[in-house]
Amino acid sequence: MNTPHKLNERTLADAWAELQAYSEQGNPLQADAYRVAFADPEFLLRRETRGLRIQLEMLKPEIEQHAQGIENTVVVFGSARFPAPETAQESLALARKTGDAAALALAEQHLRNSRYYDQARRFARLVAAYSKSRPLREQLFICTGGGPGIMEAANRGAHEIGMPNVGLNIALPHEQSSNPYVSPSLSFKFHYFAMRKMHFMMRAKALVAFPGGFGTLDELFEALALVQTRKARPVPILLFGSDYWKRLIDFDLLIEEGVIAPEDLKLFTYVNEPQDAWDAIKTFYEL
Mean pLDDT for 188-195 is: 94
Residue type, 83: P
Q: How is the chain split into domains, by residue range?
A: 63-82+115-285
* Residues 73 and 166 sit within 8 Å (Cβ to Cβ): yes
Q: Which of 201, 213, 182 is nearest to 116 (CA)?
A: 213
Residue 25 above 80 pLDDT?
no
Please classify residue 179 by burial: count the beta carbons closer than 10 Å to its beta carbon, then call 0-12 exposed, 13-18 middle and 19+ buried: buried
Cα–Cα distance between 220 and 224 in angstroms, integer?
6
Summarize pLDDT for 38-86 with one digit per residue, the tens: 878 788 888 899 999 999 999 999 999 999 999 999 999 999 999 999 9
In this model, does residue 15 exceed pLDDT 70?
no
**Closest listed residue to residue 237, CA positions, set 201, 207, 204, 264:** 207
The rounded distance, in Å, linking the Cα atoms of 141 and 224 is 21
DSSP string, 68-116: TT---EEEEE--TTPPPHHHHHHHHHHHHHHT-HHHHHHHHHHHHHHHH
Give per-residue pLDDT as tens, 136-176.
999 999 999 999 999 999 999 999 999 999 999 998 877 57
Q: What's the CATH class of domain 63-82+115-285?
A: alpha beta
pLDDT above 90: percentage of residues in the chain: 79
Does the pLDDT of residue 31 top 80, yes or no?
no
pTM flag (> 0.75):
yes
